[in-house]
Structure 1
Amino acid sequence: MTTLNKPTIWEISDSDTEVDEESRSDLEFNDSAKDSRVTNVLVRPPSDERDRPSPAKKRRSKEEIEADKEKARQRREAREKHRAAKEREKQEKRKQQQKRKEAAQHLNSLKPENYLKCLTVCIDPALLQQQGCDVLLGTLSSFDWRYSIQQQPFTNSITWTRDVPQQAEDGEGTVAEDQLVQLLSPSEFLDVAMSVKKMIDNEGEESVCPIMKGLNQDAGKVATLLVTLSQTEYRRHALGETFQSKYGGDIEEILVYLQLDKNISVFFVDGWQEVTDHVCAVTKSLSKRPLKQLTEQSELPFCVDGSWASGVRVEKDGCGLKQVWSKQIQQLNRVSQATASCVTATYPSPQLLLQAYKAASSEEERKKLLADLAVKGEGKDRRVGPEISTRVYRCLTAHNPELVLD
C-alpha cells in the first residue's frame, strides 16, 4: 500500500508579518536615500567650480571715462535745448493767441454799436434856454446815448468826445472829435455873411465877426452852421433877398465860399426836430468812421499784385500808359475794345489827340476827326463813325462837368 506524502503547510505567525513590514520599510528608506544622493549629485556644482574666484572687472581708461562724460553732457544739453525750444514755442503760441485776442477785441470795439458807447454828445448850457431843446435831450436818452451839459468854446454849439482807455495811465482818457455844430439865428447868420463878404471883397482881410474869428482860430474843426428858420424854403429865399438888398451880395456866393475855403457847411433847418436829426446823423457817422478807416487803410487779402478789376498796372518807366489811355476811351458808352485800340494806335496819348484838335480849323472838323479811322475786327472792316468821334471830342474838351455826352 502506497503512502502519499502530504504537502507541508507553513503557518505564518504575527511575528513574521512584522518582520516583513520592517524589511519593506527598510527598502523604501534605502531607495529614498539613494534618490536624494542622486539629486544632490546633479544639482550641486563641482567643488572645483565652487572654489574658483569670480573674474575681476576690466578697468576703463581715462579717455573712455572722459568720452562717456562728454556723451552724457551732450545728451543733457540736447534735452535742455529741446525743452527750451518747446518752452519758447509755447510762449510764442501764447503771444500769438494774445495778439489775436486783442485784435479781435479791438475790432469788436470799433463796431458802430459798440463805438457809440464811447461817444459823448457835449451840449452847451446856452442851448437849454431855447425852446425845443428837450426834443434833442429826449431823443438822446431814448437811444441810450451819453450826453453831458458843459461849457463849450463856441456859444450855442454841440461837440463830441470819445473815451480812449489806452491813452490814460490811471484811467480812461477823452479825446475831442473834429465835428462842431453851432446853432445860429437868422440875424447872427447875416452878420456872418456880411463878414464873409468883406473878406471876399478885401481879398483875405481878417473877419471882424466873433463867430468867424473863433472858427478861423480852430482850423482843426469841421464846422456846421445850423440856421434855425421856420418854413425853410420861404424864409431862406427871404433871407437871401434881405442880404442882397442890405449888403448888395449874393447869399449863394457866401455859402460856396464857406464850403470851399473854410470847410464850413451851412444848413437851414426848421425847428429843433431837424436839429435833433442832424445831431443824430453826425453821431452815427462818427460811430461808423473808425471801422471804415480801418477797412480803407488795410490791404485786402484777395487783391493780388498786378491787374485787378479790369485795371492796368503802370510802371515807373511809363509802361502801361497806352493801355490806360485805351481803357479811358472804352469807358464811353458803346465803345468797343477794337474801336479804342484804333484810336490809341493813331493817337498814342491824349496830348497828341488834343494837339490834333487844336490844329483843326473848325468845330465841325474837330468833331469828325476820328470818324474815318478804320476799325479792324473779326468781321468786315468798319469806321469809328461820327457819333463816337463827337463823344470822344466832347469828353476831352468840354468844361461843363454835367454835360451829357450822348
Structure 2
Amino acid sequence: MSTLRRAATWEISASEESGAETEEIGGKCNASERNSDQTSSTSSNCTLLPPPPPPTRAGASANPSPTKKRRSKEEIEADRRGAEERREARERRRTARAEEKEARRREQLRRREAAEQLKTLRPENCIKTLTVRVDPALLQQHGSDLLLDSLAACEWRFSIERHQLPHSITWTRDLAQEKDGEAFLQEEQVLLILTMVEFMDLVVAVNKMLHGDRQELEAEADSVLRPLFECLNRDATKVVTLLVTDSDYRTNPHGVHFRDETLQSNLGMNNLDIEEVLVYLQLYKNISLVFVGDWQDVTDHVRAVTKALSKRPLKLLTEQEELPFCVDGSWASGVRVERDGSGLIQVWAKQMEQLNRVSPALASCVAAAYPSPQLLLQAYESLDSEDKRKRLLAGLLVKSEGKERRVGPEISARVYRCFTAQNPELVLD
C-alpha cells in the first residue's frame, strides 16, 4: 500500500515532459491539418484573402521615407521671394484686367453718348429745340397772323415776348445741360421788320450820321437807328437782317435797284447816297437788307432761317474735322480710310464733290481717270499751254442714270483753277 501511494506522487522527468509536449504539439498540428483539410474541402471554390498585415505601432510609418535635407536660410528666403513675386504678378494681371474692363466700359459709354448727341443734332430733332420769339409790336401790323399760323402748322415752338429791339424776331435753342444757370442759347440771327416809311427814316438817319450832322440825329430820339445800334453795341456778334415790307423793290447779285420816283423823291437823295448807306450798314454793322412784298414773304423768310438754324449744329460738327469730306464713320457722306490705304480714292472723289456743280458721278469719273491729285497735277504739268490744261478733263465721259455726257470745258477749267491757283481768295466761278 505504501509503495503504490508513493508511486502516485512521483514526478515526471524532464525527458518525459519534453516527449509529452512533443506529442501534444504533434497532436495539435495534426488537428489543425485535419481542420485545414476540412476547410479546404468545404471552400474549394472560394478565393483566399491574403493575411492581414501585422499591426504597427502608433506613429510608425509602413514605408519609412529617407531623411529630408534641411533647407538653408537662403533657400527659404528665395522661395519666399518667389511666392511674393508670383502673388504680385497675379495682382498685376488682375489689376490690368480690371483696368481694361473699365476702359471698355468708358469707351462704350462715350460712343453711346456720342451717338445720342449726334441723334439730337439731326435737323429733324434739333428743330424741336428751337423757339421763335416774336416781339408783340409786330402783331399790330396787318397780315402778321400769317406768321403765327404758319409756325403752328409746322408744329414749331414760338413765344410772344417783348424785345429790347422793337419789331424784331429772334431765336433761342434749348441746351441739354444748363450752363452758367441758363437753359437756352440765344442765336445771333435777328430779323428786324420795317415798313417802307421806317426804312426811309433809317436811311435818312444813317446819311446824316455819315455826313457829320450828329445834332439832328441826337434830336431824333424815336429813330429806328438808335435802338438798332444799342442792340449791336450790347452784343457785337448779332447778325441783323432788315426786312422791308410793302416794297416793290427787288435785289440782284450786283446790288439793289431803286426807283427814281420813290426814294429819290421822298428822301431827296440819289442812288449813290442810298448805296453808300447800305454799304456802311453791311460792312461796318453787319446788317443786310432784304425787300419783301408782304407778310407772306416775311413768313417764308422766317421759315427758311429756322430750317437753316436747325441744320447748323450738324454742319459745325462736320466742319470741326480738318478734312470734313473724310470723317471717321459712314454718316455725313464720309469715307473711312483704312491702314492699308483703301478708301483714299473715295476721299479724292469726295474732295472734288466740294466744288460747285460737281456731282458724285462726275467726281467718280475724274477719280477713275486720275486716281490721285498728284497724278492730275502731273498731267497738267505735261501740257505745254494754258488752254490745253483748262480743257484736260472736258472730254471725259460721265455716266449717270443710264445717260452719258461730257465733263465740259467749264467744269474742267474750274477744277484746273482749284488745284493750280496760288491765290486763296480766288473765286472759281
TM range (shorter): 0.5 to 0.7
Tell me whether 1:241 sits opposite 2:254 in the alignment: no
Which residue is 2:306 aligned to? 283
Whole-angstrom distance in 2 between the partners of 1:279 and 1:34: 118
- Aligned partners of 2:190 and 2:239 also within 8 Å: yes
Q: Secondary structure at the match of 2:169?
A: strand
Q: Give matches, 1:379-390, under 5 Å.
A: none
- Aligned partners of 1:198 and 1:205 also within 8 Å: no
Whole-angstrom distance in 2 between the partners of 1:145 and 1:342: 54
- Aligned partners of 1:186 and 1:228 also within 8 Å: yes
Which residue, 78, 81, 106 being the options, matches 2:89?
78
**Which residues of structure 1 form unaligned runs of 5+?**
1-24, 311-322, 344-395
Whole-angstrom distance in 1 between the partners of 2:61 and 2:300: 113
CA drift of 1:96 comes to 0.7
Which residue, 229, 233, 238 being the options, matches 1:216?
229
Q: Give matches, 1:28-177, under 5 Å.
A: 29-32=38-41, 39=48, 42-45=50-53, 54-55=63-64, 58=68, 60-63=70-73, 64-168=75-179, 173-177=183-187
Which residue is 2:188 aligned to? 178
**Which residues of structure 2 form unaligned runs of 5+?**
1-33, 251-255, 328-334, 353-372, 390-420
CA drift of 1:70 comes to 2.7
Change in CA separation of 1:108 and 1:165 when aligned onto 2, cut-off 3 Å: same
Tell me whether 1:227 sits opposite 2:244 in the alignment: yes
Which residue is 1:22 aligned to? none
Change in CA separation of 1:283 and 1:47 when aligned onto 2, cut-off 3 Å: closer
Once structures 1 and 2 are overlaid, which stretch shifts more, 142-151 or 251-260? 251-260
Whole-angstrom distance in 2 between the partners of 1:290 and 1:175: 12
Scaled by the length of structure 2, what TM-score is found?
0.58
Whole-angstrom distance in 1 between the partners of 2:316 and 2:197: 39
Which residue is 1:338 aligned to? 384
- Aligned partners of 2:171 and 2:187 also within 8 Å: yes
Whole-angstrom distance in 2 between the partners of 1:182 and 1:284: 18
Whole-angstrom distance in 2 between the partners of 1:109 and 1:88: 31
- Aligned partners of 1:108 and 1:114 also within 8 Å: yes
CA drift of 1:34 comes to 9.4
Scaled by the length of structure 1, what TM-score is found?
0.61
Q: Secondary structure at the match of 1:58?
A: coil
- Aligned partners of 1:194 and 1:247 also within 8 Å: no
Once structures 1 and 2 are overlaid, which stretch shifts more, 141-150 or 53-62? 53-62
How big is each residue's C-alpha offset from its partner over 1:305-342, in whole Å with a ceiling of 9 and x where there is no partner?
A: 9x9669xxxxxxxxxxxx99x98xx7xxxx98321499
- Aligned partners of 2:135 and 2:161 also within 8 Å: yes
Tell me whether 1:197 sits opposite 2:207 in the alignment: yes
CA drift of 1:140 comes to 0.5
How big is each residue's C-alpha offset from its partner over 1:7-61, in whole Å with a ceiling of 9 and x where there is no partner?
A: xxxxxxxxxxxxxxxxxx989624248979x946x54457999998652662642
How big is each residue's C-alpha offset from its partner over 1:77-98, in whole Å with a ceiling of 9 and x where there is no partner?
A: 2221111111100000011111
Letter paired with 1:292 = K
Whole-angstrom distance in 1 between the partners of 2:120 and 2:211: 49
Q: Secondary structure at the match of 2:119?
A: helix
Which residue is 2:403 aligned to? none
Q: Secondary structure at the match of 1:89?
A: helix
How big is each residue's C-alpha offset from its partner over 1:132-191, in whole Å with a ceiling of 9 and x where there is no partner?
A: 121111110111111111110111110011111323477x61111001111112111111
- Aligned partners of 2:247 and 2:291 also within 8 Å: no
Whole-angstrom distance in 2 between the partners of 1:27 and 1:70: 66
CA drift of 1:228 comes to 1.2
Letter paired with 2:71 = S
- Aligned partners of 2:249 and 2:258 also within 8 Å: no
Tell me whether 1:262 sits opposite 2:275 in the alignment: no
- Aligned partners of 1:229 and 1:269 also within 8 Å: yes
- Aligned partners of 2:121 and 2:313 also within 8 Å: yes
- Aligned partners of 1:197 and 1:249 also within 8 Å: no
